[in-house]
Amino acid sequence: MPRIHFHQQLDELRARLLAMAALAQQNLECVLDAYRTSNLGLCEHVMDNEQAINRSEREVDELAYDLLAMEQPMAIDLRFILAVIKINGDLERIGDQCVNIADRVRLLHGESRVELPIDIERMGEISGNMIRGAIQSLMEADAFLAASILGMDDQVDDMNRDAYTSLMSLMMNDPEAAPHALNALIICRNLERIADHATNIAEDVIFWVRGADIRHGVTVVLD
């Protein structure tokens, strides 16, 4: 009986984390829309979602702590709970980064927009795909899918570096464009960080599914 209860609680933990992941993913889509359409209402929505994400973070951490304290989870269950604790932190940080982007969208609202030599939408799309893939790998316990996320990070890093170079040139040639360019540059850095968090989540899924024992050179047969 207690084991049944334990597995129900593990399911509950998983469900809560996935709900939080959905919020974080929605927030990224929302703030990218807000940037594209300069919609301050969407920025408000991002702020509200952030509050919900913060509440979720506490609840998920509490539930994970209770499970560790009350039960004696072993092997894959223990790894799952530890992965949840880390993923929880990454999702909360993604929420923060979306708020940072929303702040920039609000600042941009008052400024005249200039044509920028960067593709924020594409960068946002890749980061969004990374989060989506990382969460799917979590839902399906799919370490192969998780591993495929890892390489995508380089693309976002490259785009961020290119954005830096081209926005700096723009600022030197057209100082009036500085406010817009600088806000865009910070948005790019936040997207790059979001991609990093997606990478972290994918790594935690691999840790959970394939096992920490891989680090000790032992093959673990999973059930």
State the residues that interact with a copy of itself by CB under 8 A.
54, 57-58, 61-62, 65, 68-69, 72, 74-75, 78-79, 82, 85-86, 89, 164, 168, 171-173, 175-176, 178-179, 182, 185-186, 189, 212-213, 215-216, 218, 220, 222-223
- φ/ψ of residue 222, rounded to 5: -90, 155
Residue closer to a copy of itself, measured from CB, 89 or 117: 89
- Start-to-end CA span in the chain (Å): 20
Considering beta carbons, is residue 115 or 223 the nearer one to a copy of itself? 223
Closest CA to 104 of 48, 32, 194, 29: 32
Quote the CA–CA distance of 21 and 14 in Å, as a whole number: 10
Q: How far is the CB of 118 from a copy of itself (least distance, A)?
A: 15
Residue 33 burial by Cβ neighbours in a 10 Å radius (0-12, 13-18, 19+): middle
Residue 124, both tokens: 């946002």
CB of 187 to a copy of itself, least distance (A): 13
Residue 160 CB, nearest distance to a copy of itself (Å)? 11
Comparison of 45 and 79: residue with beta carbon closer to a copy of itself: 79
Closest distance to a copy of itself from the beta carbon of 51 (Å): 9
Nearer to a copy of itself, 2 or 41 (CB): 2
Half-sphere exposure of 203 (CA within 13 A, CB side): 12
| DSSP structural state of residue 140 | T
* Encoded tokens for 29: 């889509």
- As measured in angstroms, the least distance from the Cβ of 150 to a copy of itself is 16
Q: Are 171 and 178 in contact (CB under 8 A)?
A: yes
d(CA 150, CA 156): 11
Q: Which residues lie below 8 Å from residue 62, measured CB to CB, with a gap of 6+? A: none
**Smallest distance from a copy of itself to CB 172, Å:** 5
Q: Which is nearer to a copy of itself, 39 or 68 (CB)?
A: 68
Looking at the Cβ atoms of 57 and 130, the one nearer to a copy of itself is 57
